[in-house]
Chains A and B, each alone.
Chain A
C-alpha cells in the first residue's frame, strides 16, 4: 500500500515525477494512525463523536479532549497529531473572532472552513515547514442556514458533508454512516446512533480502553456547540452497548 518516495519526499516543496507531493501524503498517513472521529449532520443539527483511546489508567478522565469549541456556534472534532490540531483550533478561533469584530455577525461555516483550509494549504508549499498532521471536522447550526458540516484534510482542501469520518476506522465508520437516514433524524436520535457507530468501529483487540467524546450543536442547544449532557451521553452509550450485544447474540443464533 505504501509507496516509497525515494528522494522526492524530503520536503513539501518537491513534486514527484508522477505529480504527487509525498510530504502531504505522509501527513495524511499520520491522520490514519489516529483513532476515529465522526461528524454527522441531521435535520436540525450536527453531532460529533470521537473514540478517544486511553493509553494509561493514570490519565485524568476527560483530559486531552479532541473536540473543541471554535465559536459559540461552531464545533471541531480532530484526528491526527493532537498538538497540530490544537494549533489549528487556535487559528480557527482567531479567524472567527476577527470576523465577528470586523463584520458584526457570526462567521458562516463555509467561510471559516475555507479560511482554515487556506492556512493548512500554506504549510504544504514550503520546505521550511511541514504540513499539519491532522484532519478536522467543523460543524455548526444556524436557524436560517440550518446545520452545516465541513471537513479539512492536511492537503488543505475542505469538503462539505452530510456525514464524514476520519482516523483509523474511517472506512468502517463510513459504511455505518451510509446506512443512516440522517436527513430525517433529529439530534437526539442521532446522538445514540453516533455512539453506536463509535462502539462498532472500536477495535477491542488492538486498542483497549477508550473514552467516548460526544458533542452536538443544533436546535436542541439553541445553536450553541456543547458537549452532550451527562444523562444524554449515558443513554447513548447504553444504547450503543445494548445494540452491540444484540448483534453478538444474533450472530450466535445463526451459528
Chain B
C-alpha cells in the first residue's frame, strides 16, 4: 500500500498508521494501532480507534487522511445498511468493499483515503479486500497498510501461513503491529484487533505495556 506522505499537502489530521488484516481457518483478524498525528510532530490522539464496523460481520480499517476516511465510511455504512435491508440478508464482504471503492474512485481528486475491508459472509466465508487511495480493489489473504507497514513486510511475508488457528493468527497480528509500532514514529498506542467469524465478532485490545517485547526492549 502507498506510503503516507508527511509533507504539507496532507490535509489536517492524518493517520500515520499501521493497519493489517489476515485470514485464518474459519475467520479473519483485522487490526490497527491507535495513534493519530499531525505532520509527524504532534500526537493528536493516543487512543483513536481505526477499526470501524460497517456491518454485523464486516469491519474496515482507515488509512490516509482521517477526515476523508471517516466521511467515506459514514456514507458507506449508510449505503450498506440500506442495501442489506433491501436484500433481506447481510451484505457480502465484496459488496462493502465495492461501495468503498466506488466512493474512493469517483472522488479520487478530492479524497485521500484508503481502506482494508475484512469480514465474513455466508457465500464466500472469510475475506479481506484492499481499497487503495485511487480506488483500486483487490482481494488478498493477508494485507498490511499505512506508514508503519513498510517496516513489517518482511515479518508478514515470513510468518504468515494460510489456515492458521485463531490463536496463531491473533499472535501473528499482535506481533506484526508491535513491530511496526516499535519502528514507525507515527504509529503507536494500543493495538486494536477484531476477530470476525461466522459465530460473531470479538474485540481484543492490547495496551502498550502488554504488547510483545523483542530482543532490544
**Contact assessment for B94 and A104 in the assembled complex, using a CB-CB cutoff below 8 Å:** yes
The residue from A103, A110, A114, A144 contacting B95, defined by CB atoms under 8 A apart: A103
Using CB atoms and an 8 Å cutoff, list the residues of chain A in contact with chain B.
Answer: 102-105, 108, 110-111, 114, 144
The residue from A104, A111, A144 contacting B137, defined by CB atoms under 8 A apart: A104
Contacts of B94 in A (CB 8 A): 103-105
Given contacts A144-B122, A144-B123, contact A102 B102 (CB under 8 A): yes
Contacts of A105 in B (CB 8 A): 92, 94-95, 123
18 other A-B residue contacts (CB within 8 Å) besides A103-B92, A105-B94, A111-B86: A102-B98, A102-B99, A102-B102, A103-B83, A103-B91, A103-B95, A103-B98, A103-B99, A104-B94, A104-B95, A104-B97, A104-B98, A104-B101, A105-B92, A105-B123, A111-B87, A114-B86, A144-B122
Using CB atoms and an 8 Å cutoff, list the residues of chain B in contact with chain A.
Answer: 83, 86-88, 91-92, 94-95, 97-99, 101-102, 122-123, 137
13 A-B residue pairs with Cβ-Cβ distance under 8 Å, sorted by A, are A102-B99, A103-B83, A103-B94, A103-B95, A103-B99, A104-B92, A104-B95, A104-B101, A105-B92, A105-B94, A108-B87, A111-B86, A144-B122
Contacts of A108 in B (CB 8 A): 87
Q: Measured between alpha carbons, how far is A105 from B94 in the docked complex, in Å?
A: 7
Contacts of A103 in B (CB 8 A): 83, 91-92, 94-95, 98-99
Please name the residue on chain A nearest to B92 by beta carbon: A105
Q: Measured between alpha carbons, how far is A15 from B97 in the docked complex, in Å?
A: 46
> In whole Å, how far is A116's beta carbon from the nearest beta carbon of chain B?
14
> In whole Å, how far is B121's beta carbon from the nearest beta carbon of chain A?
10
Contacts of A110 in B (CB 8 A): 88
> In whole Å, how far is A205's beta carbon from the nearest beta carbon of chain B?
47
Q: Measured between alpha carbons, how far is A105 from B121 in the docked complex, in Å?
A: 13
Please name the residue on chain B nearest to A110 by beta carbon: B88
> In whole Å, how far is B20's beta carbon from the nearest beta carbon of chain A?
22
Q: Measured between alpha carbons, how far is A38 from B143 in the docked complex, in Å?
A: 49
Q: Measured between alpha carbons, how far is A108 from B87 in the docked complex, in Å?
A: 8
Task: Specify which of B91, B95, B137 lies most central, judged by the most chain A CB atoms within 10 Å of its CB.
Answer: B95
Contacts of B99 in A (CB 8 A): 102-103
Please name the residue on chain B nearest to A143 by beta carbon: B123
Q: Measured between alpha carbons, how far is A127 from B120 in the docked complex, in Å?
A: 48
Please name the residue on chain A nearest to B94 by beta carbon: A104
Q: Measured between alpha carbons, how far is A114 from B94 in the docked complex, in Å?
A: 22
Q: Measured between alpha carbons, how far is A111 from B123 in the docked complex, in Å?
A: 17
Task: Specify which of A103, A110, A111, A114 lies most central, judged by the most chain B CB atoms within 10 Å of its CB.
Answer: A103
> In whole Å, how far is A185's beta carbon from the nearest beta carbon of chain B?
26
Contacts of A104 in B (CB 8 A): 92, 94-95, 97-98, 101, 137
Task: Specify which of A104, A110, A144 lies most central, judged by the most chain B CB atoms within 10 Å of its CB.
Answer: A104
Q: Measured between alpha carbons, how far is A105 from B97 in the docked complex, in Å?
A: 11
> In whole Å, how far is A15's beta carbon from the nearest beta carbon of chain B?
29
Ranked 7 nearest A-B pairs via Cβ: A104-B98, A103-B95, A104-B94, A103-B98, A105-B94, A144-B123, A105-B92
Please name the residue on chain B nearest to A107 by beta carbon: B87
Contacts of B95 in A (CB 8 A): 103-105
Please name the residue on chain B nearest to A144 by beta carbon: B123
> In whole Å, how far is B109's beta carbon from the nearest beta carbon of chain A?
20
